[in-house]
Chain A
Amino acid sequence: MKFKINRNQLIQGVQGVMKAISSRTTIPILTGVKMTVDSGGMTLTGSDSDISIERFIPAEENGEINLEVQTPGSIILQARYFSEIVKKLPDETVEIEVGERFETQMRSGASEFSLIGLDPEEYPRLPQVEEQNVFSIQGDLLKMMIRQTVFAVSTSETRPILTGVNWSLEDGQLTCVATDSHRLAQRTVKINSNATELSFRNVVIPGKSLNELSKIVEDSEELVQIVVTNNQILFKTKNTLFFSRLLDGNFPDTSKLLPGDSKTTLVLGTKELLQAIDRASLLAREGRNNVVKLVTLNENELEISSNSPEIGKVFEHVAITSMVGEELKISFNAKYMMEALKAMDCSEIKILFTGAMRPFLIEPQSGDSIKQLILPVRTY
Chain B
Amino acid sequence: MGEQNQKRRIILHVDMNCFYASVECAFDPSLQGKPLAIAGDVEDRRGIVVTCSYEAREFGIKPPMPLWEAKRLCRHLLVKKPDFQKYKAMSARMFQLLREYTDLVEPVSIDEGYMELTYVKADPLFIAYDIQRRLKDELGLPSSIGVAPNKFLAKMASDMKKPMGITILRKRDIPKILWPLEVGEMHGIGKKTEHKLNEYDIFTIGDLAKEDSYAMKQRFGVNGVKMWERANGIDERKVDPDSANDYQSIGHSTTLKEDTVSQTMLSAVFSRLAESVERRLRQKQVVSSAIQIVIRYANRHTITRSKKLENPIQEKEKIYENAWQLFKKHWNGEPIRLLGVTALDLVERDSAYIQLDLFHYHEEKRREDLTKALDAIRKKYGDKAIQKGNNKKCKE
Contacts and interface: CB of A to CB of B under 8 A. Distances in A.
A357 B358 contact: no
Contacts of A179: 358
A113 B214 CA distance: 96
Interface stretch (A102-110, A115-123, A338-346, A369-377): A369-377
A125 B248 CA distance: 57
B246 A310 contact: yes
B349 A380 contact: yes
Contacts of B312: 380
Given A288-B345, A357-B364, A378 B358 contact: no
B357 A181 contact: yes
A309 interface: yes
Interface in B349-387: 349-359, 361, 364-365, 367-368
B213 interface: no
Interface of A (DSSP majority class) = loop
B287 interface: yes
A375 B289 contact: no
Contacts of A183: 358
Instruction: Identify the interface centre among A181, A331, A356: most chain B CB within 10 Å of its CB.
Output: A181
Contacts of A331: 353
A289 interface: yes
A357 B365 contact: yes
Interface string A326-368: 0000010100000000000000000000011111000000000
A121 B358 CA distance: 47
Contact of A289 (B352, B365, B368): B352
Given A357-B364, A378-B364, A378-B367, A181 B354 contact: no
A288 B347 CA distance: 8
A245 interface: no
Contact of B355 (A307, A309, A333, A358): A333
Given A357-B364, A358-B361, A359-B361, A377 B348 contact: no
Nearest to B362: A358
A379 B358 contact: no
A184 interface: yes
Given A357-B368, A359-B361, A377 B351 contact: no
Given A331-B353, A380-B287, A380-B312, A181 B364 contact: no
B359 A252 contact: yes
Contacts of A377: 353-356
A40 to B, nearest CB: 50
B86 to A, nearest CB: 14
Nearest to B360: A181
Contacts of A358: 361
A242 B349 CA distance: 50
A197 to B, nearest CB: 33
B246 A182 contact: no
B352 A380 contact: yes
Given A288-B347, A309-B348, A184 B358 contact: yes
Interface string B324-353: 000000000000000000000101111111
Contact of B353 (A182, A291, A309): A291
A179 B354 CA distance: 18
A181 B358 contact: yes
B361 A379 contact: no
A307 B349 CA distance: 14
Interface in B185-228: none
A310 B347 CA distance: 11
A333 B359 CA distance: 17
Contacts of A376: 356
B392 to A, nearest CB: 16
A159 B349 CA distance: 29
22 contacts: A181-B359, A182-B355, A183-B358, A257-B359, A288-B289, A289-B352, A291-B353, A309-B348, A310-B246, A331-B353, A333-B355, A357-B361, A357-B365, A357-B368, A359-B356, A359-B358, A375-B358, A378-B354, A379-B350, A379-B354, A380-B314, A380-B349
Given A357-B361, A357-B367, 14 more contacts: A181-B358, A182-B355, A252-B359, A287-B347, A288-B345, A356-B368, A358-B361, A375-B355, A375-B361, A377-B355, A378-B368, A379-B352, A379-B353, A380-B314
Interface of B: 246, 287, 289, 312, 314, 345, 347-359, 361, 364-365, 367-368
> What 10 pairs across the A-B complex have the smallest Cβ distances?
A380-B352, A377-B353, A375-B356, A357-B368, A181-B358, A289-B353, A291-B353, A181-B357, A377-B355, A378-B354
